[in-house]
Amino acid sequence: MNIILFGPPGAGKGTQAKFLVTKLKGYQISTGDMLRDEIQKNSDIGKKIIDDMNEGKFVSDEIVNNLIKNVIFDDQKKGKLIFDGYPRSLSQAEKLDLLLKNSNQKIDFIFFLNVNKDTIIKRIEKRKIIEKRSDDELDTILKRYDTYMETTKPVLEFYSKKPNFYEIDGALEIDQITNKIGAFLKV
């Protein structure tokens, strides 16, 4: 089963992705983690993206699409992909469709965790203390939220027309969201 978790930063996608990884023996595909990894390694990609990441801007589609390509064609992970924080632009969503088609796969469920700005800010502030994430200063948080909402509008329109799109209230407690997702998946 391939699943997309969609929603603004702080909506709880990562938490739900971890639940799904355990439940479905899947693989969490977080482009945020992959990009942070490149920065940590100080790779060529890392050097290119560090400024955008720190400013809360989106990294270029080209870089993200290239990183994701390897994952989709990884035989071990096929049919067990839990996308967390990807795709975030229409170009990424279209590219994903193409990559899935070319690897004989499809998306089984798209979950949109919808949550308002106030809830997001509270949650990210909490996570900032726990995880000590460097790109999570308040200014960045707000910028990330706005960028997300602006850029992902076309992505939301793209996915919301699909029959396997489900919107879930992201302001619910973590367990409640987990239960709702579990009910849709029948697991």
Which residues contact ligand AMP (rule: CB under 6 A)? 9, 31-32, 35, 52-53, 56-59, 64, 85-88, 92, 144
Task: Tell me: cis bond preceding 87? Omega within 30 of 0 counts.
Answer: yes
User: Of 151 and 164, which CB lies nearer to ligand AMP in the complex structure?
Assistant: 151
Three-state DSSP at 5 gives strand
User: Of 59 and 72, which CB lies nearer to ligand AMP in the complex structure?
Assistant: 59
Minimal distance in Å, beta carbon 102 to ligand AMP?
Answer: 19
User: Of 84 and 181, which CB lies nearer to ligand AMP in the complex structure?
Assistant: 84
Minimal distance in Å, beta carbon 186 to ligand AMP?
Answer: 28
User: Of 174 and 187, which CB lies nearer to ligand AMP in the complex structure?
Assistant: 174
Minimal distance in Å, beta carbon 18 to ligand AMP?
Answer: 13
Minimal distance in Å, beta carbon 52 to ligand AMP?
Answer: 6
3-state secondary structure the chain: CCEEEECCCCCCHHHHHHHHHHHHCCEEEEHHHHHHHHHHHCCHHHHHHHHHHHCCCCCCHHHHHHHHHHHHCCCCCCCCEEEECCCCCHHHHHHHHHHHHHCCCCCCEEEEEECCHHHHHHHHHHHHHHHCCCCCCHHHHHHHHHHHHHHHHHHHHHHHCCCCEEEEECCCCHHHHHHHHHHHHCC
Minimal distance in Å, beta carbon 57 to ligand AMP?
Answer: 6
Q: What distance in Å separates the CA atoms of residue 117 and residue 141, rounded to the nearest whole number?
A: 10
User: Of 16 and 31, which CB lies nearer to ligand AMP in the complex structure?
Assistant: 31
User: Of 153 and 183, which CB lies nearer to ligand AMP in the complex structure?
Assistant: 153
Minimal distance in Å, beta carbon 33 to ligand AMP?
Answer: 6
